[in-house]
Structure 1
Amino acid sequence: MKFFNNMTAASLAAVVSVGAVQAADLKMVVDKQTWMEGIQAMASDAGAASGQTIEAELVTPSDKYQAFIQTSIAGGNTPTFFSWWNGSQLTDLVATGAAADLSAQWDAAIANGDFSSAQRDLVSVDGKPYAFLLNQASWVTFYNMEAFEKAGISGTPTTWAEFLDACEKLKAAGYTPINAPGTEWMPFIWFSQLVAGVDPDAFVGINDGSVAYNGEAVQQAFDMWVEMYDKGYFSDPREKDDQKFFVEGSAAMYLTGDWHTGSFVASGMEPGKQLGTFLTPPVNDDAGLSVIIEAAPVIVSSAALAENPGVGDAVQAMMTADASNTLGSIAGVYNGNLQASTPNAIIEGNMFEIGERQPRGLVRWWEAVPPQIQGDLVAAMGEFMLNPTADQAQDTMTLMNAISADYWANN
């Protein structure tokens, strides 16, 4: 079963200590540490509305969380609700039979005007939805407005040349232009953006095996990545606090999902004063503007739904505008409910800009890449970030291509 191919004995052993999470029937297990208060409030309200008791529990980091869920499914102890990822990872999970078909709940939510068919597609496999949305986010460049003003940058970049010019001005003004953490899963962030900015078709192709990881588009992306490191545009990738340099003001820009807004605000950054966003320009003008879209789905155990119809009622309650508003007001994230309020001005502004400029939407690399090779590819990118030279770039591309080619040759 493909879903379990990327597990190791060590990862199985690592989750034994969190097995107690399986004890209660109605648990919502997640790896979203900064959203926990909002998730618990949403779950509690939805439970009350449906006559259930739902408790949210946290398992981190992401690799331990994935291993825990895989072990739970293999042992027949699947949590009633658990966060996951869409794209290839959702497809593999659905193949286990552990995920419930939520067509009835989605039909009702769409009929009520809460969600669209396009949003349903984000969590569908072979035309059937197997999750509801906890978050729907756009990946944008956050920037420190005060740093831009001090560096003499008027407006936000709309071309790659303007973006690089802003980096130069920020560096001259004493800032590290870009916060770029490289721990855990984060090495793929700038790799993804640069490949998509060179050629969005190639970005799609590396994830379905039709484009090589050492092909022309990826080579161009790595050349730019090396050049940006050479010029001192990126922060130290070894810093484990991913937002530290940005919120303390030493780094002026941060490419991340707009779900991060809430934690920036909680750290003291005020939208419209210190905190702003823009869509990251393409590296090649003829590539066209694109935006990476991230969906955070919540899976429902097929066994739990079959045993307890109230689980379906709880799902319906968590798809309402009230639930979205509860989550958004506390955690600062937006699940895409069309009748809910956007949780903050940043997300509302991003939605407006995307609506105005109509960029091409791309499924995030993390969800699009086959999960069996995800970890090895991220590790290779991380090795480059620790030694961002042209020679290391070649070694990294060669390794990544070998990993990908081997997978697609056998699948």
Structure 2
Amino acid sequence: MSFMRTITAVSLAAALSMGTAVAADLALYSDKTPWNAGMTKLAEGASAASGATIKLQEITPTDKYQAFMQTSIAGNNAPAFFTWWNGQQLSDLVATGIAADLTPYWDQAIADGDFSADQKALVSVDGKPYGVLLNVANWVMFYNTAAFEKAGIAAPPTTWAEFIDACDKLKAAGFTPINAPASGGWMPFIWFSQLVLGTNPDSFVGLTDGSVAYDSADVQNAFKVWGEMYAKGYFTDPREQDDQKYFVDKSAAMFLVGDWHSGSFAEAGMEPGKDFKTFLMPSLSPDVQQSVIVEASPIVVSKAALDADPNLGKAVQSLMGADAANALGSTVQVYNGNLKAKAPNATIEANKELVATAKPRALVRWWEAVPSQIQGDLVAAMGAFMFNPTPEQATESMKTMQTINADYWASK
């Protein structure tokens, strides 16, 4: 799917002239249904602070949410508040003129010690912040501690050879080593991007800016390793739509995902720091620098809504406060980066320590970094491989992705 193509098709001018009608539609739209309790608290706090009534509205899965937002913006009916993504996804949104510049609120939050300038940069485009941080997450490998113990794995792997050895031991002990769903319209990129990242972080970055081809040697290596892992039976059935099912039912021992998922595991009855812990994924070679993906999700404010009702600025301040951060953390165990807030659980606190100790190269997640115009089509090609992980399909997927990629950058 293409965010910008949809906007263009119905006239960008229309999308920029939303008027004050948006202000009457005081909703906080989100695709994060598992975070309902926390998101509801945020909406309630923002309502109390501003005097407005802000209702939470949820649409899932993610691809349906994106389609809804495309239509809403193109039809002059963007919500006052809505969750989005940073990186190129935020840049594309800002280009439509819909997002409010939140510089005054960020300046105050930094002065108050709630956030840092580096955190502001996570939701900035050309130096200006266009979002309130909702989630700041490290992408780590979760593992079931009981499964590791049963398989005789004394400590988390620190090299790729140790990781493959752990997978073999887990399989021998009766577990599927890795939970790897293709659900939600986005998850196929997880292992593709991790294996490219582990092969060559520079190639990972190059895929997002057009300087590296999707059929380059490093991508070919990633697909080769990915296929070998499927052939060895390391992954769960990608058709499962409950993305955490196999991890929480303990049939799969590991799950590579953002540490925001720790709250969902806890809600399912797993205790963070006891039933599951985490480790940073090693590179495929000791010669390759270890990297970690840092995901940052913003809440965007409609410029038209804020212009129509300046009191909504108080809602923005509420969303950036420590009380909001703790409400989110205590209900759904998601961390928004507020420096005065408590870490939601032992896993998120431990992950902060893991990153501080290892000092890996921090990179923007592929989903946010890739141009939005080609994001959906690229993910579909990755998903095609997950459903048919053969060398022939790998070649076909790479060919399809590079055609999409080359056509996009040729148009720039």
Name the structure 1 match of 2:116.
Answer: 116
The 3-state SS of whatever aligns with 1:285 is coil
Q: Name the amino acid aligned to 1:148.
A: F
In structure 2, the partner of 1:72 is 72
Q: Is the Cα–Cα contact under 8 Å of residues 197 and 287 in structure 1 kept in the other structure?
A: yes
Asked if 1 retains the 8 angstrom alpha-carbon contact of 2:133 and 2:337, the reply is yes
Separation in 2 of the partners of 1:23 and 1:305?
Answer: 7
Equivalent pair of 2:6/2:70 in contact (CA under 8 Å): no
Q: Which residue of the partner structure matches residue 125 of structure 1? A: 125
Q: Secondary structure at the match of 1:79?
A: coil
The one-letter code matched in structure 2 to 1:303 is A
Residue 237, structure 1, aligned to residue 243, structure 2: no
Q: SS of 2:362's equivalent?
A: strand
TM-score by length of 2: 0.94
Counterpart CA distance in 1 for 2:87 and 2:116 is 18
Q: Which amino acid aligns with 2:4?
A: F
TM-score computed with the length of structure 1 as normaliser: 0.94
Query: Is contact 1:142-1:255 (8 Å) kept?
Result: yes
Partner of 1:38: 38
**Equivalent in the alignment of 2:395:** 394
Q: CA deviation at 1:51?
A: 2.5
CA distance, structure 1, for counterparts of residue 330 and residue 33 of structure 2: 16
- Distance in 1 between the 2:8 and 2:62 partners? 15
Identify the residue that residue 277 of structure 1 maps to in structure 2.
278
Corresponding position of 2:336: 335
SS where residue 254 of structure 1 aligns? strand
The equivalent residue for 2:269 is: 268
Q: Deviation digits for residues 285-305 of structure 1, max 9, x if unmatched?
A: 221111111111111000011
Aligned-partner Cα distance in 1 for 2:110–2:89: 24
Whether 1:205 aligns to 2:206 is: yes
Runs of 4 or more above 3 Å deviation: 6-9
Q: Secondary structure at the match of 1:161?
A: helix
In the alignment, residue 258 of structure 1 is paired with which amino acid?
Answer: D
1:129-168 deviation per Cα after TM superposition (whole angstroms, max 9, x unaligned):
1111110111100000000000000010111111000000
CA distance in 2: counterparts of 1:194 and 1:70, whole angstroms = 31
CA contact (8 A) 1:146 1:273 kept: no
Q: Which amino acid aligns with 1:142?
A: F
| Pairs within 5 Å for 1:199-348 | 199-348=200-349
Residue identity matched to 1:95: A
Return the alpha-carbon distance in structure 2 between the equivalents of residues 130 and 45 of structure 1: 20
Shift of 1:7: 7.4
After superposition, the CA RMSD in angstroms is 1.6
Gaps of 5+ in 2: 10-21
Quote the residue 1:168 is aligned against: 168
Contact 1:6 1:373 in 2 (8 A): no
Partner of 1:376: 377
- Amino acid paired to 2:318: A
Q: Residues 167-189 of structure 1, C-alpha deviation per residue, up to 9 Å, x if partnerless?
A: 00000001000000012211000
Alignment: residue pair count: 399
Alpha-carbon contact 1:6-1:371 (below 8 Å) kept? no
The CA deviation at 1:263 is: 0.8
Find the aligned partners of 2:54 and 2:6 in 1 and give their Cα distance.
30
Distance 1:193 1:387 in 2: 19
Map 1:81-100 → 2, pairs under 5 A = 81-100=81-100
Q: Compare 259-268 and 270-279 and name the one that shifted more.
A: 270-279
Deviation larger for 38-47 or 205-214: 38-47
Task: For 2:376 and 2:159, locate their aligned partners in 1 and report how far apart those are by CA, in whole Å.
Answer: 32
Residues of 1 paired with 2:181 and 2:6: CA distance?
A: 24
What's the offset of the Cα at 1:52?
A: 2.6
Q: Distance in 2 between matches of 1:307 and 1:337?
A: 28
